[in-house]
Chains A and B, each alone.
Chain A
Amino acid sequence: MATATASVPQIRRRSPRIPLTYVVTLVPVAAALNIVGGYINSILHLPIFLDMIGTAVVAIVLGPWWGALVGVITNTVSAFLTGPIALPFAACNVVGALVWGYGVRNLHMGKTFIRYFILNLLVGLFVTLTAVPIYVFVFGGATGHFSDMMTAAFLAMGQNLIVSVFSSNILVSVADKLIAGFVALAIIEALPANLTFNLELIKAQKMRVILFAVIGVVIGIAVMLVAVALTKPA
């Protein structure tokens, strides 16, 4: 009997499965959080987006493709609430979910503060790389967001449309994703322990530290972009 037991191959789970009830609860709540954030942003005309906090939470806790689903739900519902402009940008939300999800869960980018900070910068970069073609080829460079003013400023400095849209979007996106990433971290800490026990994730930092870091990064990128824009091509 003992020999038979020993010969049975042991089943080893690669990733723990999550009860369906958590998914059914968390995905709509995350989408609602994104929609509320985006709506507040559109009312207050803030120079950020605030529509990816829920995406970050779900992508990190449940997995990247659940986060992608949250992104699609967010932008689809937003399209019916605030107009169809939000719909093509669902792709940006999906890309953000994939980078956050695979970054934390597969590449262990949530282990230390520095790694997590870099991950959020990468999310900002990849989302911008997805958003720029949508801005330029779908909307002709403007969607009515605050960043359009910065795009106009870069255009006035003599840059072409793609560079101007990229420059304005990277500034806004990096700040937005850093804030979203660290707010998501605080939300994840408040979730039940059996959802987060297998995550290699740092504890939430004090927001003042994050804000100083965000302001520093944004000022750095802005100075660099302005310097590049003012440099006349030979």
Chain B
Amino acid sequence: MEQTKTMAPADTEVKEGLTVGPKEGLGAGIIGLGFLALIMPWASGQIATLDFIKSDAFAILTGAIYVIGILVMISGIVVILQKPESET
């Protein structure tokens, strides 16, 4: 019984499920990309008003969404290729 009480904190957390791995990281990254896509219409409107910018808001938004879209596709490929965290 004494040995159970003196368990390391990290081990306790593993048992309680308060840990994260690559799968959760991937999810967090995709959420970040989604947030970026959500905020881009506002950002492209703001960028277009700057003096030294020649592009209009639509072109800025198009370019940014293309880049974000490629990153989302890469993350989708990673989801497909992701192996289970524990193997038997």
Contacts and interface: CB of A to CB of B under 8 A. Distances in A.
Real binding pair: yes
Interface of A: 9-15, 17-21, 23, 62-66, 68-69, 71-73, 75-76, 79, 83-85, 87-88, 90-91, 94-95, 98, 130, 133-134, 137-140, 142, 144, 194
Interface of B: 10, 13-14, 18-22, 25-33, 35-36, 39-40, 42-43, 46-47, 50, 52-55, 59-60, 63-64, 66-68, 71, 74-75, 78, 83, 85-88
A85 B60 CA distance: 11
A18 B33 contact: no
B35 A72 contact: yes
Contacts of B35: 72, 76
B10 A19 contact: yes
B63 A88 contact: yes
Nearest to A63: B25
Contacts of A137: 55, 59, 63
B27 to A, nearest CB: 8
B22 A63 contact: yes
Contacts of B43: 79, 84, 87-88
Contact of B55 (A91, A95, A138): A138
A173 to B, nearest CB: 16
A17 B19 contact: yes
Given A65-B26, A73-B32, 9 more contacts: A10-B88, A13-B85, A65-B27, A65-B75, A79-B39, A87-B39, A88-B43, A137-B59, A144-B52
Contacts of A142: 52
Nearest to A11: B86
A90 B64 CA distance: 10
Contacts of B10: 19, 194
Nearest to B86: A11
Contacts of A98: 74
B52 A20 contact: no
A72 B21 contact: no
A19 B19 contact: yes
A190 B59 CA distance: 44
Given A63-B22, A138-B59, A142-B52, A69 B28 contact: yes
Interface centre among B33, B35, B42, B74 (most CB of A within 10 A): B33
B17 to A, nearest CB: 9
11 contacts: A13-B86, A18-B20, A65-B30, A72-B36, A84-B43, A84-B46, A87-B40, A87-B43, A134-B63, A138-B63, A140-B52
